[in-house]
Structures are given as structure tokens and as C-alpha cells.
Amino acid sequence: QTKVSLATFATIKRIIATTTMCTKTSVIMLLISFCFVYKSNAQVELKGNVLSLSNKPVRGASVAIQNKKNGTLSDSSGRFAFYIHRPKKTDTLIITSIGYETLKIPVSAARQQSQFKLNEKFIDMSGVKVRSFNNRNSYGSILESAANFRGWNFDSTGGEIGRLFYIPHDHYKLDKVKFKVNNTCGNCTFRIHIRQVSNGLPDNSGELLKDSVALNTKSLLWLDNSQIPEFDLSAYNLVLSDKKIYVGIETIGCKPKDTIAPCSLCFVGTEKGKFVYKTNRKSDFEESFSEYDVYMKLELDY
């Protein structure tokens, strides 16, 4: 909404009162134009193409504003577009993708660019012991039918919800994480976190998955077991030795199908047990006192 001070409004009123009808019309049109300009300045569109150094489009790159809820994923052609509400000079655009180095650039500079090129990430494997895993197993939720909804306020981004897992292997490679939501909105964007556990709760600074991995999902009903969203982490070679880990889903944001009908996002629980959550990025983790957990299943090699 455009705010105009009382003094400014009084001045405008006097100008209109002392002008002819033709001039009044011009003044009013000028004021309308001013309001549109003011509104457009409050919201800025960021768009462009994410490319490799060889000019190939980078699909599924996570494009976000550091420490803010704004963000999206690049499409199959590497294109992205989203809006920022009143950007600040200190705002930073961050682009991440599997196999590429993270790109950080000030929003002021990003607004002047149409292409964003990522450097390939090369890992020096010399001196690294390569482990082979011959077995595969899954851990977590088993039941599919019973359901308990966890409503989630995706407007207050940074909120995170997940579970603690005990993995009875000395070393294992985490490949996939499946979860269930009941999403009556349009597209929703999620980010996954794999964290160390300290004193029975996740450690905010103990990220085991260093890359920012995001996932887009469309409207989903929890009863549709043919479309359970999953994070595929196989390309990250995430080999862990922690017996106890926390796996959490951060809600980046959702886009309603339309501006009339309300929409909701709920995480689904199918079995009795506890879940862990935090309401925003800076808050501490808490353990639920509910009888039902959230549906989450891990697939790993060991």
C-alpha cells in the first residue's frame, strides 16, 4: 500500500482545488502515475539465465536471497524469475547447483545482469579413501494410511520440521529422503537439512549436507502415494558415520493457485512418535509433545 503523509495530501488537495478542470485531470493522472511508480519501486523483479561456463543451461539451480524467504529454482532452460520486496543495498543473491561452485552476487549488480555463469566444482580425490557399499536399506516411516496433519505457516519462512534418526552402521551413504505433505497451494519450494545431533536436539551449526539443495512440488494430496516428493542426494556422495542424525525440511515459500481461494500446506504424520521443529531460522529447535511424528523415509547404502 502506498502511504502519503497528511501534509503532502493537504498540499495536493490545495493544488487540485485551485486548478481548472483540464488541469485537475492532468494532476490526478500524474498522481495515479506516481502511485504506480511508488508501488513498482517497492517490488523488484529479478530474472535471468543460469548457465555453465560452456553456456549450457543449468536446470534446477537454487536461486535465493541470503537470509530471506525469496527464492525459486531455474527451469529446464536455466531461466528463473521472482520478485523481491524493497531490496536493500546489503542483499545478496545466492545461486547453488549440484556440481557447481556457489555464486554470490549483490542484488544491485544482479539486477543489471541477464546471465549468471557457474564454475564447475572439481574435487581432489587424492588421498581420499573410497568406500564401497554393497547393501541398501530404508529407515523411518512404514505406515501410509493413518494421517495427522501438521499445519505450517510458510509465510514466515525459515521454519523447519523433521525427525531424529538412529542409523546402526559405521559408515553409510544417504541417497534419498522422502516426505509427505498435503499441499492445496500451487508450487511450494523446500530445502533439506541434514544436521548433527547434540544433547538430543539438532545442532544449528552442525550441517552435514554443505550444499543448498532445494525441491519444487506442485499441489499434492497426502493420499496420493504415487507422488510422494523426495530429495535425491545420490549425486552429493553424502557419506556419514554419525549414528544419530536429524533430517529436516525447511519451507522456502508457496505460491497460491489463485488470489481468491485460501490454500494450506501441512506436513503429514502417519505413525506415533515425536518430531522436531523450529519456527524460524534463528530460533532454537524444540521437540514436539504430540503423539504423532511426521512422515519421512530415508534410503541409504551401507
Q: If pLDDT is split at 50, 70 and 90, which confidence band does 268 have?
A: very high
User: What does the DSSP 8-state code read for residue 66?
Assistant: T
Q: If pLDDT is split at 50, 70 and 90, which confidence band does 144 have?
A: confident
Helix boundaries (H) for the chain:
6-17, 21-42, 107-110
Q: Which residues pair with 292 in a beta bridge?
A: 272
Is the pLDDT assigned to residue 180 strictly greater than 90?
yes
pLDDT for 281 equals 77
Is the pLDDT assigned to residue 290 strictly greater than 90?
no
Q: CA-to-CA distance for 23 and 15, rounded, in angstroms? A: 10
Q: If pLDDT is split at 50, 70 and 90, which confidence band does 38 have?
A: very low
pLDDT for 4 equals 46
pLDDT for 1 equals 39
Is the pLDDT assigned to residue 253 strictly greater than 90?
no
pLDDT in tens, 105-120: 999 899 999 999 998 8
Is the pLDDT assigned to residue 42 strictly greater than 80?
no
Note the maximum CA span of the chain. 87
pLDDT in tens, 4-16: 445 555 555 565 5
Q: For residue 79, which of 93, 59, 102, 108 has the smallest C-alpha distance?
A: 59
Q: For residue 193, which of 165, 170, 172 has the smallest C-alpha distance?
A: 165
